[in-house]
Amino acid sequence: MPTELHEPVVALMREVGRDIVMPRYRNLASHEVSEKAADDFVTIADKESEIRLAEGLSAILPEAGIIGEEACAADPAILDRAGEGLNWIVDPIDGTGNFAAGKPPFGIIVALADAGTILAGWILDPLTGRLCHAILGAGSHIDGEQVHAKESGEPLPVAALAVYFMTEEERADVRRRSDAIFRLVDIPRCAAEQYPRLVLGQNDVSVFARTLPWDHAAGTLFVNEAGGRCQRLDGSPYMVGDLGRGLLGASSPRLWDLAADRLFR
């Protein structure tokens, strides 16, 4: 089923990027940006994008529910059924803080999950048009070409650590453990960009503290289907509906094992 859904989903995402997201880029009035929580922004473009995506995805696959970031912000109970049955998972603009500040990266993310298992995922960069997608058991692709995850080849593996949702104690511990093992780099604060970096050989390791499905469902599948590894810190698979903390992604199983051993054990 996911394979036959690919073209209509991509067409919908590109339409939303072209008609809703990009016209608002660097064109937002002050009243069109607000904070849902500290350092967690939402814009009129997020809201309009999610409405259009939800309408379009429901038409493509009517039997699937919709788990959207902004809908869940308005009604947190929606998230309670994320692991039940067939659901579209929607992030209308990932990296909203960047988008609101008028800078890249940001993206549109859609995934399809059944009883928590991620069946397919799509990540669109509206600025460049780059489309990453993966289908369970069918590999990962960028702009239609199959891709395989590769290590950066740097003397020290490159680690991008999303520590901003960690406690101060957790941050200090991860940084101490990374010393002389990894080269730490800044993260883009955008999962739609971070996951492709793991596959493209730009980053070797990423650690995420908060693991909400709209941020991570598509990217986790993308890395795993490309031959990398993205799992919970204990090695268990990431499942939609599991709201635990902590997710470790790496460009290869070897580097996943190294990071898990040095950073968390």
Residue 32 tokens, joined: 């069109």
Query: What is the domain-level CATH number for residue 238?
Result: 3.40.190.80
257 has binding-site annotation: no
Last residue of a domain, one of 121, 147, 173: 147
Domain that holds residue 216: 158-264
pLDDT at 178: 84
Calculate the alpha carbon distances from 157 to 14, 34, 63, 152, 251 in Å: 34, 37, 43, 7, 10
- Are residues 191 and 129 both part of a single domain? no
69 has binding-site annotation: yes
- Residue 254, SS3? helix
pLDDT at 152: 97
pLDDT single digits (tens) 187-212: 899 999 999 999 999 999 999 988 99
Q: Can you say whether residue 246 is alpha, beta or left, with left for phi > 0 and alpha for psi between -120 and 50 degrees? A: left
- Are residues 253 and 196 both part of a single domain? yes
Q: What is the DSSP letter of 236?
A: P
Q: How many domains does the chain have?
A: 2
- Are residues 167 and 140 both part of a single domain? no
Distance, first Cα to last Cα, the chain: 40
Q: Which parts of the chain sit beneath pLDDT 50?
A: none
DSSP 39-70: TEEEEHHHHHHHHHHHHHHHHH-TTSEEEEHH
Burial class (CB in 10 A: 0-12, 13-18, 19+), 160: buried
Query: What is the domain-level CATH number for residue 41?
Result: 3.30.540.10
- Are residues 17 and 109 both part of a single domain? yes
pLDDT at 263: 87
Strand order in the sheet with 117-124: 65-68, 86-94, 107-114, 117-124, 131-135, 140-142, 145-147
pLDDT at 163: 67
- Are residues 137 and 173 both part of a single domain? no
- Are residues 26 and 109 both part of a single domain? yes
75 has binding-site annotation: no
Q: What is the pTM of this model?
A: 0.95
93 has binding-site annotation: yes
pLDDT at 164: 67
- Are residues 245 and 174 both part of a single domain? yes
Last residue of a domain, one of 100, 127, 147: 147
Note whether residue 153 is domain-resident: no
pLDDT at 136: 97
Last residue of a domain, one of 92, 122, 147: 147
- Residue 110, SS3? strand
Note whether residue 152 is domain-resident: no
- Are residues 66 and 15 both part of a single domain? yes
Rounded to 5, what percent of the chain is helix, strand, coil?
40, 25, 35
Residue 140 near residue 185, CB atoms below 8 Å: no
Nearest to 222 by CA among 120, 152, 125: 120
Pairing of strands 140-142, 205-208: unpaired
